[in-house]
Amino acid sequence: GADDRVRVRAANIDEKRADSGLISTTRTDSRSFKLSIKNLHERQISFVIQDQVPVSNNQEIKVELTAKPQPTKRDIEDKRGVLAWEDKLNPDEEKVIEHGYKVSWPAAKSVVYGR
């Protein structure tokens, strides 16, 4: 739940779309995010941050996850693409999570992001 003594910030770092290849062109869509969490309490706290990345239902569409640090859990509650980072923060400590994904597919096809 909400806690005035815990500060969480999320930012889009980068967003790119590109085509590559000479004969069989591949299209890519890459996105990067930065999440930061800071403990303003005078005691240690535990936290869980959840986020999500796209998942493919077609083997021609590839999704690569990039994350630093890697998530501690994936596919939360059997929901594909839902990630979680669990950790502890000491008083006045801040942690940063950088993550993103790259989706690639044949240029002759189109990709639709859905829910």
3-state secondary structure (DSSP) of residue 70: coil
| Predicted pLDDT at 35 | 96
Q: Strands 82-89 and 6-20: what pairing?
A: unpaired
CB 86 within 8 Å of CB 48: yes
| Predicted pLDDT at 55 | 93
| Predicted pLDDT at 60 | 93
| Predicted pLDDT at 82 | 97
Q: Tokens in use for 32?
A: 């990067």
Global confidence as pTM = 0.83
| Predicted pLDDT at 115 | 61
CB 18 within 8 Å of CB 104: no
Give residue-wise pLDDT tens across range 8-44. 999 999 999 888 766 668 999 999 999 999 999 999 9
3-state secondary structure (DSSP) of residue 77: helix
